[in-house]
A and B are shown apart, each in its own frame.
Chain A
Amino acid sequence: MEYRFLPKKGIAPFVTGLLKDFKVYGPVEKDGFPMYGEITSPKDIHLSHAPTHLSPKQFLFPPKETILRFKNGAKPALEPVIEAHNQALFGIHSCDIHAIKLLDRVFSYGPRDVNYLKRRDKTVIIGIDCVPDKYCFCKSVNTMTVDSGFDLFLHDVGSGFVVEVGTQTGKNLLYKNAKTKKATMKEIKKIKEIRDKKAEMFVTKLNAEASTLPLIYSGSYNSPVWEKIGKICYGCGSCNNVCPTCYCFDVRDEIKTNLTEGERFRVWDACTLEDFAKVAGGHNFRKTRAERLRHRFNRKFQYLADKFGGLFCVGCGRCIRTCLVNINIAEVTNELIEEANKDRS
């Protein structure tokens, strides 16, 4: 692993350099809150190191994207649409890099999702160390640090950034756009010091080993907790939509007023919404909000972990922050852990 040292004032020219070859998305401030947005000048960047309200998945898997254009009538025609451009995701936190690695697996599983994968191919990822807020619990699901899945990773060591080089692409970008020098041992050691400090900062924690969670969830199907949270849930889908690993979508067609040409597009869907599991004929196999939440939580901690290996909750805490009725995936998991411990004793 190569480590370079980039002084703080080197960030602006580095970003300016990136802007020549990429659309750049990075941390900005929206209405005073941390968000990811398009960066058109280094001045737009707001490096607060705080978690953002929406995840960066929107740049790889947009909320709405056209996938096909069609024409009916005498000469029917179909044209697949893949929209992808060179993009740099700047200032991505380790939980979200883990999430992108999971999405990579999902979208390459079975029939490859060309729209996602093409976009992913044209994406470089530049990570950065972050500071947990009261919702973050990455440490409990082993996503507090990351050793792959990025092209470059910036560690703010006070005097400047130690830049960890993840790929050759990253290295080329760094050498092309910034004046760096080899990081000293002292500077590299600082990364661990900062990490150790971060590890002590978490307010939200899970009370069991991450590896035991699929088993705990598998025994929780009849827990009273589902009814309890189902009663207060809106079924509003916000938890899905802010989650960096939720990837469900719906496919719809839109036809022009000439009734011959149109587009097929996909939009985010969410398993907490009432009509998500409604099938032809009107039957709904997850009618209640309790059933839908149980499904969502199990997807994160059991079903997908079994299928893809690795928990699908990366502990980013966004679903906790967004939920207006305070349904807290960490608290619920801790309740299930407690129930499991009681059952065993």
Chain B
Amino acid sequence: MKNRHKPKVAFFSFTCCEGCQLQVLSCEDELPDVLSLVDIVNFREAIDEKRDDYDIAFIEGSISRQHEINEIKKIREKAKVVVALGACSATGGLNCLKNRFPMEEVQRVVYGDKAKKYKHLDTIPARPIDAVIPVDYYIHGCPITKSEFLYVLKSLLLGKKPEIPNYPVCVDCKMEGNICVFEKGMTCVGPVTRAGCSAICVTYGCICWGCRGLIDNPNLEAHEETLKRYGLTTEGVLRSFDLYGGWRSR
């Protein structure tokens, strides 16, 4: 193992709360092992060093300003492998909620009347990174789970394709032994949402909001019917789908 070429890994952050990077940093038990396997050359949350010779780029955050487009394109040119880290990056995430409003209004509400004068506040509709560059792998969730991050990293180091679930959260939910929220007079978007989170929100008494994005072939028409049958209005149905699915439903 010793003489092995250690892959260089970089972390980048665009529009987001940086919570997914924090999840990475909270892998305390595993970090020593991870650091013996890879060199981290760029990680604003954790190290001062900055180098541009990386093999794997983990990118969190969505693209929501013009100049971020150029920045991320440069990253893509340098990295051999690009991994979207978290919902904002993988599907656009919550940021896409702003896309419902005209961009000028968004800019004014957030930064005030003078915003137009500053070029770096050039807001554009928020989008997932694969709307701008090709992405090799996705780590879903808002935030990501530590175990999935480690799993993807380990798979890449072993030269294996990471297997990310393509089945709905209902599978995880049943394996956890939950009572379905629909039985309890609530609704959720678990039947069309990608599993892999152990249905943690339902397990802890909440509903699934859909943060891991849609499965490859979701039956959205069926779920719209279900939500209506359980009392949601058309508006309510759209809201359920849009919380984390704003970019897709544009």
Instruction: Report A's interface with B, CB cutoff 8 A.
Output: 30-33, 35, 37, 53-54, 58, 63-64, 231-238, 241-242, 252, 254-259, 267-268, 270, 273-275, 289, 322, 324-325
Q: In the bound complex, do residue B177 and residue A274 qualify as a contact, i.e. CB atoms below 8 Å apart?
A: no
Q: In the bound complex, do residue A237 and residue B174 qualify as a contact, i.e. CB atoms below 8 Å apart?
A: yes
Q: In the bound complex, do residue A241 and residue B226 qualify as a contact, i.e. CB atoms below 8 Å apart?
A: no
Residues of A within 8 A of B158 (CB): 255, 259
Contacts A257-B154, A324-B191 given: A237-B170 contact, CB under 8 Å? yes
Q: In the bound complex, do residue B182 and residue A257 qualify as a contact, i.e. CB atoms below 8 Å apart?
A: no
Provide 22 A-B residue pairs closer than 8 Å at the C-beta atoms, listed in order of the A residue: A31-B179, A32-B184, A232-B222, A233-B222, A234-B170, A234-B192, A234-B218, A234-B222, A235-B219, A238-B171, A238-B174, A256-B33, A259-B154, A267-B175, A273-B167, A274-B167, A275-B166, A275-B167, A289-B219, A322-B174, A325-B222, A325-B226
Q: In the bound complex, do residue B219 and residue A232 qualify as a contact, i.e. CB atoms below 8 Å apart?
A: yes
Q: In the bound complex, do residue A237 and residue B168 qualify as a contact, i.e. CB atoms below 8 Å apart?
A: yes
What per-residue 1/0 map shows which CB atoms of B200-241 lie under 8 Å from chain A? 000000000000000111110011011000000000000000
Q: How distant is B208 from chain A, measured CB to nearest CB, in Å?
A: 12
Residues of B within 8 A of A53 (CB): 179-180, 183
Q: In the bound complex, do residue B33 and residue A258 qualify as a contact, i.e. CB atoms below 8 Å apart?
A: yes
Please tell me which one of the listed residues A259, A273, A289, A324 contacts residue B182 in the complex, with CB atoms under 8 A apart. A324
Is B53's CB within 8 Å of the partner chain A?
Answer: no
Is B197's CB within 8 Å of the partner chain A?
Answer: no
What would 4 more interface pairs be, CB under 8 Å, given A64-B175, A235-B217? A237-B171, A257-B154, A274-B166, A274-B167
Please tell me which one of the listed residues A37, A232, A236, A267 contacts residue B170 in the complex, with CB atoms under 8 A apart. A236
In the complex the two chains form, what is the Cα distance from A322 to B226 in whole Å?
A: 13
Q: Which residue in chain A gives the minimum CB-CB distance to B31?
A: A257
Residues of A within 8 A of B151 (CB): 254
Q: In the bound complex, do residue B215 and residue A238 qualify as a contact, i.e. CB atoms below 8 Å apart?
A: no
In the complex the two chains form, what is the Cα distance from A238 to B30 in whole Å?
A: 34
Residues of B within 8 A of A255 (CB): 154, 158
